[in-house]
Amino acid sequence: MEFADRIRALSNRVVQMKDQLKTEEATKTSIIMPFFQLLGYDIFNPSEFHPEFISDVGIKKGEKVDFAIMKDGKPVILIEAKWSGESLEKHDSQLFRYFGTTSAKFAILTNGIIYRFYTDLEEQNKMDLDPFFEFNLLELKDSAISELKKFEKQQFDIDIIFNAASELKYSGLVKQFFAGQLEQPSDDFVALIASHVYAGRKTQAIIDKFREIVRRSLNQYISELMNERIKAALEKESKDVQTAEADAEKFAELPQKKIDTTMEELEGFFIVRSILRDLVSSARVTYKDNESYFGILIDGNSRKWLCRLDLSGTKKYVYIPTEGKDQTKHQLESVDGLYALRDQLTSVAKRYL
C-alpha cells in the first residue's frame, strides 16, 4: 500500500474512534504512536522511539518530553503530545524550553489530529514560535501528504528538510495572509490596491469605500480563475475520451456503436472525484461510459462502482449501490445535485477501501 493510502486509512480509522478517546494516554496509544509507526519508526524500540525522554531544563531536573525519535543515540525529533480533544494553543512553550537543551533539530506538537512541526530557522538552537509545517490528519491534502512523506524514516534527511522548511513556513504564512484578506481586507492591503486604481488621496473614508470592492473583486477573480481551469480540464478530458474512442473504433475488428461522453457527464465525474478527494486518491476514481449509463468506479473495477449517471433524458438520475445487490435511485435537477449525496457516496467508497 502506498504511503498516501496508508495515511488515508489511518485518517478513516481516527474519524471512527476520536470521540471515544477521553485522555492523553488513550490518544498516544490509539493515534499518535500508530501515526509514527506508519512513518516507519519502531515505536517499541526505545533506541529509535524513546518515550518519556528526559530533557533537563535549567535548574529543573527530570523534565520529560513525551517522545523523542533517536538517531545514533541522540534525539533528532522531540514530540510533545496532548489529548485529542485539546487545543494546541499555548502548549508550544513547554516544547520551546525542551528544544534548546537537546541536539534535536525538529520538534512536533500534536493532539493526534493536528501535527505542528517546528525548527530553528530564525535563531540557531532556539525553536521558532511559528511552525514551518502543519498537518491535519482529518483534512488530508495531497501537498501536505507529500511534505509529511519527507519525515518517513527511510527518507528522513535533516539537511533536506531544514533547507525546505524556510520556504514551506513562509509560503504557509503568505497563504494565511491572503486567506485573511479575502475574508476582511486590511487597511494597508486596501490602500495598496487602491494606489494602483485610484489617483486621488487615500483617506480613511476612501479606504473604507474600497474595502468591499477589493474583497468582492478578489473573490470573483479567484472564482473565475477556478472555473476556467475546471472548464479547461473538462475539455481536455473530453478530447482524451474522444481520441481514445476514435482509436478504439479504428482498430476494432467489429463495428461498434460510438458512445458519446457528454460534458455534463464529465462534470458529474469531477464532482464525485472532488467529493471523495479526502478519502481516496483522485487517480483511483475513474469512469466508464456505456450506452445506457455513465459509470463512476474505483480503480476501474466494474464491481466497485460508486454511482451510475443517467443524464440523457429530460429527467436526470443517479443510481447508488446499497450494501446488498440493490441500488437507490435519485432524481437530479442538475449534476450539482450530486453534492447533496456526499454522505451516500462517501459510504459506498468506504466499503471498497
pLDDT 10s digits, 9-41: 999 999 988 889 999 999 999 999 999 999 999
217 occurs within a structural domain: yes
Which residues does residue 197 pair with via DSSP β-bridges, in sequence order?
none
Q: Is the pLDDT of residue 55 over 80?
A: no
Q: Are residues 137 and 225 in the same domain?
A: no
Q: Are residues 56 and 162 in the same domain?
A: yes
Q: Are residues 306 and 337 in the same domain?
A: yes
Q: Are residues 84 and 172 in the same domain?
A: yes
How far is Cα of residue 33 from the mean position of the Cα atoms in its chain? 21
201/189 Cα distance (integer angstroms): 16
Q: Is the pLDDT of residue 232 over 80?
A: no
Structurally, the chain folds into a number of domains equal to 3
C-alpha cell recorded at residue 330: 435519485
Which helix (H) or strand (E) segment holds residue 272: the answer is helix 263-275
185 occurs within a structural domain: no
What's the pLDDT score for residue 61? Answer: 62
Domain with 136 in it: 3-176
What's the pLDDT score for residue 261? Answer: 83
Q: Is the pLDDT of residue 251 over 70?
A: no
181 occurs within a structural domain: no
Q: Are residues 36 and 161 in the same domain?
A: yes
Pick the last residue of a domain from 121, 147, 176: 176
The mean predicted confidence, pLDDT, of the chain is 86
Q: Is the pLDDT of residue 59 over 50?
A: no
119 occurs within a structural domain: yes
65 occurs within a structural domain: yes
Pick the last residue of a domain from 248, 271, 292: 248
What's the pLDDT score for residue 99? Answer: 84
What's the pLDDT score for residue 45? Answer: 93
Q: Are residues 311 and 198 in the same domain?
A: no
What's the pLDDT score for residue 296? Answer: 94
CA geometry: angle 7, 12, 16, nearest 5 deg: 140
What's the pLDDT score for residue 249? Answer: 64
Coil, strand or helix: which one is 237? helix
Q: Are residues 66 and 131 in the same domain?
A: yes
Q: Is the pLDDT of residue 159 over 90?
A: no
Higher pLDDT pick, 179 / 325:
179
Average pLDDT over every residue of 247-271:
72
How far is Cα of residue 111 from the mean position of the Cα atoms in its chain? 17
Q: Are residues 28 and 148 in the same domain?
A: yes
Q: Which of 63, 68, 155, 145 is nearest to 106 (CA)?
A: 68
Q: Is the pLDDT of residue 343 over 70?
A: yes
184 occurs within a structural domain: no
294/288 Cα distance (integer angstroms): 6
Q: Are residues 43 and 103 in the same domain?
A: yes
